[in-house]
Amino acid sequence: MTVALAPSLLSADFARIAEQIAQVEAGGADYLHLDVMDGRFVPNLTWGPKIIGDLRRLSARTFDCHLMIVEPERYVDEFRKAGADIITFHYEATPHAQRLLTHIRSLGAKAGISICPQTPVSMLQDVIEDCDLVLVMSVNPGFGGQRFIPRAFEKLREARALIDERNPSCILEVDGGVGKENLRAVVDAGARAIVMGSSVFGTPDPSATLREMRALLA
Ligand code: DX5
Ligand code: ZN
């Protein structure tokens, strides 16, 4: 079983971002998770394609871009050009998810769709074959360091069953409130890509922390 560890740069120190990226790479990060926020879909702001393009020069790891923005269809081309490998948008942010998933694939990126805590997994029934990744949010998106919402375990199991039945190569990712204490449990519930922000960058040695996370999955 392959599990991708995806440290979220939201909790990194951007004044020394090159060092922080090198630390998580040394610790075995598979993806770099990049949270794009617009102050409208979520009550917070982060960065756009320029920053992702600059970061691209620092790392060859998979760039896992999580768009928490309204009208994501307006921006996916820019994020692809900037170097995004996976582009995930929110189900709640567009009325044309199937079209957008297909478009992201046509750009040569993996197409991901994310659901907020209030959105049932069943809303993905009609697009699951069009997804390369499903992201189950285990907090309300917008901020790092929030508490994991336990209902996400059941949603991961439901998403796992849908993926196994209809699109087994689709990656199931979880994001929000994951750390050493529940890492094993989210994997047991079916997650295969694990986003972790504060539980990695909030520790003195992010590299050692990621290695400990990996050891917990052995
Ligand atoms: C929250 C973001 C997450 C965030 C997770 O909206 O999507 O990626 O960085 O942070 P933690 O792991 O601290 O909950
Ligand atoms: Zn995220």
Work out the percent of the chain whose per-residue pLDDT is above 90. Answer: 100
- Is the CATH number of domain 4-216 3.20.20.70? yes
Work out the percent of the chain whose per-residue pLDDT is above 70. Answer: 100
User: Whose alpha carbon is nearest atom 10 of ligand 1?
Assistant: 144
Each residue's pLDDT tens digit, 20-75: 999 999 999 999 999 999 999 999 999 999 999 999 999 999 999 999 999 999 99
Each residue's pLDDT tens digit, 139-174: 999 999 999 999 999 999 999 999 999 999 999 999
Q: Which ligand sits closest to the CA of 199?
A: 1
> Is 35 among the catalytic positions?
yes
The pLDDT value recorded for residue 31 is 98
Sign of torsion over alpha carbons 152, 47, 86, 183:
negative
Q: Residue 81 contacts by C-beta under 8 Å, 6 or more apart in sequence?
A: 49, 53
> Is 30 among the catalytic positions?
no
Residue 16 CA, ligand 1 centroid: distance in Å = 19
Domain residues of the chain, as ranges?
A: 4-216
7 CB near ligand 1 (under 6 Å): no
Going by the DSSP 8-state scheme, the letter that residue 43 receives in this structure is S
- Pull the structure tokens for residue 67: 């768009």
Sign of torsion over alpha carbons 47, 61, 5, 26:
negative
Query: Which one from 30, 35, 38, 130 is the annotated catalytic residue?
Result: 35
**0.75 cut: is pTM over it?**
yes
